[in-house]
Amino acid sequence: MPFSTYQQDRIGSATISPSEPVDAGSFQEVVITYTAGAFGLDDTGGIKVSWRSASDSSAPQFTDPKAPNYTTAETSNGAGLTLSFSRANIRPWAPTLLVRVSKGYIAPGDIITIRLGDRRKGSPGYRLQTAAEVNFPFKTFVDAFATYEFVELPSGPTVTLVPGRAVRFKAILPTLRRVGQPFRLALVAEDRWGNVTDKADRRILLKPTRPIAGLPESILLKPGEGPVTVDALTVTSPGDLWIDLEDESGNRIVRSNPLRIVSEAMELPYWGDIHGQSGETVGTGTAAQYFAFARDKAFLDITGHQANDFQVDDDFWAEINRLAAAYDKPGEMVALPGYEWSGNTGVGGDRNVFFSSEGRTIRRSSSVLLKSPQESDVHHVTDLFKALEAEDAVVIAHVGGRYANLEQGHDGRIERAVEIHSCWGTFEWLLHDAIALGHRVGIVCHSDDHKGRPGAAYPGASHFGAVGGLTCYPLTTLDRASVFEALRRRRTYGTTGTRLLLDVEATLPPGAITFSDDPKLGTAQETPATSARMGDVVRVDGGTIALAVDVLGSAPIERLTFFNGATPVATARAYSKDQLGRRIRVLFEGAEYRGRGRETFWRGTARMISNRFTRAVAINHFNADKPLRLGSNGDVLEFDTVTTGNFSGFDLWLEDRDSGEIDIAANHISRRFAVGEIGEEDTVVDLGGLGRRLRLFRLPDTNEAWRCSHMHTFDIEPGRDNPLYVRVTQEDGHQAWSSPIYVTTA
């Protein structure tokens, strides 16, 4: 184990207050009382209190007794203490409060009292982790002998964090079903931080846009009840529908994701989040709770567990396999066994490894946090691919703390997709890396969830800057073999966490052929074709290809962007130019660089000169502690947000459509924009970093374009791959990407 266990039973004990459950993300005075053991603490000895690096519990501060998170420590014998905070402890217990004895000593039985959020001088308290968790640990370590050898207390203090009251709701439907085929509606309540909560007490009216047999007129949510489901619903004719959730006054609370009913379908779309981890490694909660959340609270069709390999001992690897087998129910749910190969960036970076069956060998990138190196370890990504050659396995490149370095190695037979969105942010550049290197990969989006919420992962108040993603897998049957086939054929599209419907089809010129697989990887069957789907590899003699896109949104659609490789070649909007009104959208986007410290913080004001803001609505502001603040005179808006490759910003409704100037002053920009010059096209200010920039453009005052269909014709460039795909952007800030169709010339 990485921490000392020397004389563990004689090193002391700790208790904590509050002892009763408290709301996740609430401000509390947390009192940790340490009683010294048989050795006491020598002069310059001390204790460390740590919590998981994935947690967004606040950093203690020691200078302002009236501000949040003010932290103190005192002794029962009057010895002097020095407090500091850092992130220098052994993973996963990085955030660490160090209490050092700086004058005197602590005798056996003496007490050190630590107050996180000491309220005695006016502090509102300490803001706890925003994710609900049973027995959230404040891991405590003791340096009794002033050697800087810290011994872990055998039983450390914990607090139970429960969801708060319901503030928003989700209505989850499948995406496509056949006429007469039964389906389910799931109604989920969430608190302000995105925790699924049972603290709701209200009647919700259900208003479908088309008749649904078996749907009640309302649902009563009662305290203590979890998500509510309504099963055996049917629709008797083809068409598209949504269900509006309304309050008893008839006001819409939220609209469901869309559901398309068709007469016939060979495949049905299923939703998966197969990338996340639990508290046995760097996350929170247990792996058992993780799988249960995916099925019972996020209502996923497909899930998997991805623990950092260097923390996975043989017992935990067996547990991951056991849970995957238990939750895998063909026709009901797919659960994949796997792990995250967590090599350093210089030897390949992060890769997700999935197996089609249990009992396979885990090939770790290292065993640095295990007791000793393992014979099965593979230290370079090329060695990983060699080790997996004989396995029924799929690898996905992704960006987490580390990022997948595709230049260090890629095997298209095994590595079939790149994950371009997760809680860590949005990473279109990873797809562009793959394209530049000539790889033909599909697009997926998952959560990389660390908070025990696969399929419904919110960033809270930490370095995670985005809502976790989802991937749509069109399948003939809901089982592991079909999921693997979809990944291998690049038949997927990814979203930033929403469940929209995206249909993409290419019309091919005469003489075109499609391949059964990527011909770069070996012999592939050739088939004459007049059309192609997401993931297909196509050869044409030249000319043009028309890409038809049909989208049903989970919110009104803002735009479609068509790409050939890394280059956006066309934009289609879901509204006409003459619908533009008094609404201006201001977006910050990008990141600092590719690595761990990629977060770009945006703090500042937007001032209205010679006009007024009548309304402001946040876009992708996820920290509930930092809302937009619109001044009472309507002339200034304060913002504090973060981007990690994605975008965040706000909509502003103006009193006068065309007059005045908007003055944006933030840490990365100070610029004025004439309102009359802001139109449909983006006004862009590049700000360095990794795609870091500001965009402004005009929108309709109200957009009701929940469906958008468009066709774009591409000129095919000879002598290279033409990866054709589309990015969907909804008005609420959610996005989606189709996997490319790879077009080559003869």
Name the residue with higher pLDDT: 503 or 88. Answer: 503
Calpha distance 652→431 (Å, rounded): 33
- Average pLDDT, whole number, for the chain? 96
Q: Are 195 and 23 in contact (CB under 8 A)?
A: no
Query: 1 falls in which pLDDT band (50, 70, 90)?
Result: low
Q: How far is CA 128 from CA 53, 59, 722, in A?
A: 14, 10, 49
Query: 517 falls in which pLDDT band (50, 70, 90)?
Result: very high
Positive or negative torsion for Cα 409, 412, 416, 421: positive
Q: Which amino acid is at 283?
A: G
- Tokens, residue 591: 């990141």
Average confidence (pLDDT) over 374-385: 96
Q: Which pLDDT value is given to residue 228?
A: 96
Average confidence (pLDDT) over 387-403: 96
> Among 184, 264, 277, 280, which residue's Cα sits nearest to residue 232?
184
Provide the b/e sequence for 526-548 (b: ≥16 CB within 10 Å).
Answer: eeebeebbbbbbbbbeeeebebe
Positive or negative torsion for Cα 539, 545, 546, 547: positive
Among the residue ranges 126-140, 294-308, 461-475, the one predicted with the least confidence is 461-475
Contacts (Cβ under 8 Å, ≥6 apart) of 718: 542, 745
Contacts (Cβ under 8 Å, ≥6 apart) of 658: 675, 676
Give 234's DSSP letter: B
- Residue that is written with structure tokens 């803002």 in the block: 558
Q: Are 531 and 485 in contact (CB under 8 A)?
A: no
- Peptide bond between residue 95 and the one before it cis (omega within 30 degrees of 0): no
| Cross-sheet strand order for the sheet of 96-103 | 80-86, 96-103, 46-50, 139-143, 151-152
Q: What tens digit of pLDDT does each residue of 670-698 get?
A: 999 999 999 999 999 999 999 999 999 99
Q: What tens digit of pLDDT does each residue of 50-94 get?
A: 999 989 999 999 999 999 999 999 999 999 999 999 998 888 999
Give the domain 269-499 fold: TIM Barrel (3.20.20)
Which residues belong to CATH 2.60.40.1930 in the chain?
168-265
Calpha distance 710→724 (Å, rounded): 14
Q: Are 665 and 639 in contact (CB under 8 A)?
A: no
E strand or H helix at 319, and its extent? Answer: helix 314-327
Q: Are 199 and 191 in contact (CB under 8 A)?
A: yes
- Tokens, residue 536: 């297909």
Calpha distance 180→232 (Å, rounded): 10
> Among 358, 134, 258, 172, which residue's Cα sits nearest to residue 730?
258
Q: What tens digit of pLDDT does each residue of 580-631 get?
A: 999 999 999 999 999 888 999 999 999 999 999 999 999 999 999 899 999 9
8-161 belongs to CATH 2.60.40.2110: yes
> Among 292, 249, 294, which residue's Cα sits nearest to residue 271?
294
Among the residue ranges 89-93, 125-129, 348-352, the one predicted with the least confidence is 89-93
Calpha distance 311→93 (Å, rounded): 13
Average confidence (pLDDT) over 238-255: 97
Average confidence (pLDDT) over 255-259: 98
Average confidence (pLDDT) over 408-422: 98
Average confidence (pLDDT) over 698-719: 96
Which residues belong to CATH 2.60.40.2110 in the chain?
8-161
Helix axes 314-327, 287-296, angle to 10 degrees: 20
Query: 401 falls in which pLDDT band (50, 70, 90)?
Result: confident
3-class SS letters over 377-407? CCCCHHHHHHHHCCCCEEEEECECCCECCHH
Query: 372 falls in which pLDDT band (50, 70, 90)?
Result: confident
CATH architecture of the region 168-265: Sandwich (2.60)
Q: What tens digit of pLDDT does each residue of 258-304 get?
A: 999 999 999 999 999 999 999 999 999 999 999 999 999 999 999 99
Q: Which pLDDT value is given to residue 465?
A: 84
Query: 215 falls in which pLDDT band (50, 70, 90)?
Result: very high
Q: Is the pLDDT of residue 634 over 70?
A: yes
Q: Are 598 and 645 in contact (CB under 8 A)?
A: yes
